[in-house]
Amino acid sequence: MSAKLIDGKAFADGLIKRVGVAVSKLNNRYNFKPGLAVVLVGENPASEVYVKNKILQTEKSGMVSIEHRLPETTSEKELLALVKSLNEDDKIDGILVQLPLPKHINENAVINSISPSKDVDGFSIPNVGLLSTSGEGLIPCTPLGCLLLLQDHLGDLTGKNAVIIGRSNIVGKPMAQLLIKANCTVTITHSKTKNLEGECKKADILVAAIGSPLFVKKEWVKNGAVVLDVGINRLPPEGDKKGRLVGDVDFENVIEIASAITPVPGGVGPMTIACLLRNTVTASCKRRNINEPEM
């Protein structure tokens, strides 16, 4: 068997178009454009690429896009002061502080200084709490993107065995909450899991979010499983060529066993940005207490 490719790029392009339509509707009906502020501290090359794409797509969808680039030497106090001013700025509906932050800045303090109603990453404690209770808060973008792809491919997820590799606050833990809500039986595995291969082999849905290139092997995957690869890793350069981008899954071999799989690039990655834009529209409507257009 050769797995079907789950085309995250095509799905994300469609979602971004629908977000653009929602933005025009809001502008026509209520005379405002949702605004997203992106903050980048320092010069992490991967973060530079992510932030550039986020800003480009925000502008393309017709929203207001504000960019703040701060030097590596920025103090925590200065960053907290910027977040406070963005919290108080009525034109701004979403605030994203790109992670990781320089080591001298306490990430948790910064994340939790963002007003929960503008926390379009869904990383602040109130939004984490809402995700595990009512589900009414803002939902982290990468796991939300994974859920949308899974539901598009499989429909109802009720009763599926879902196994997540990785327990991060950004992907693993919120992914588990979303899949529990979707009636899956969920296992979170991580670096200390005994018999990782055996746990993975039980998965109808396998989500790999470890940050280790080509980590998940063909022998770990059940016949017909649906595999989502959240990893984006660059292999070492070959000769004078840049190393190629690969995921956390040994794609070329797992494709023989899985029934469907996301490629890297072009799978989960584009969904993160599309969901960020969707979250910004959601935040803009909640803050104004108006109905959200369909997206």
Q: Least distance from C-beta 141 to ligand GUN, angstroms?
A: 5
Three-state DSSP state, 145:
helix
- Select the residue whose beta carbon is closest to ligand GUN and give its number: 99
Three-state DSSP state, 26:
helix
Q: Least distance from C-beta 46 to ligand GUN, angstroms?
A: 8
Plot region of 254 (φ>0 → left; ψ -120 to 50 → alpha; else → beta): alpha
Place of tokens 């017709």: 62
Q: Which is nearer to ligand GUN, 7 or 107 (CB)?
A: 107
Q: Which residues bind ligand GUN (CB under 6 A)?
A: 96-99, 121, 141-142, 170, 272
Q: Least distance from C-beta 54 to ligand GUN, angstroms?
A: 9
Please list the active-site residues: 54, 98, 121
The CA-CA-CA angle for residues 45, 149, 141, to 5°, reads: 45
Q: Which is nearer to ligand GUN, 64 or 96 (CB)?
A: 96
Evaluate whether 32 touches 39 at the Cβ level (below 8 Å).
Answer: no
Q: Which is nearer to ligand GUN, 13 or 48 (CB)?
A: 48
- Cα 13 to Cα 19, 36, 47, 199: the distances in Å are 10, 19, 21, 34
Q: Which is nearer to ligand GUN, 61 or 98 (CB)?
A: 98
Distance, CA of 9 to CA of 108 (rounded, Å): 31
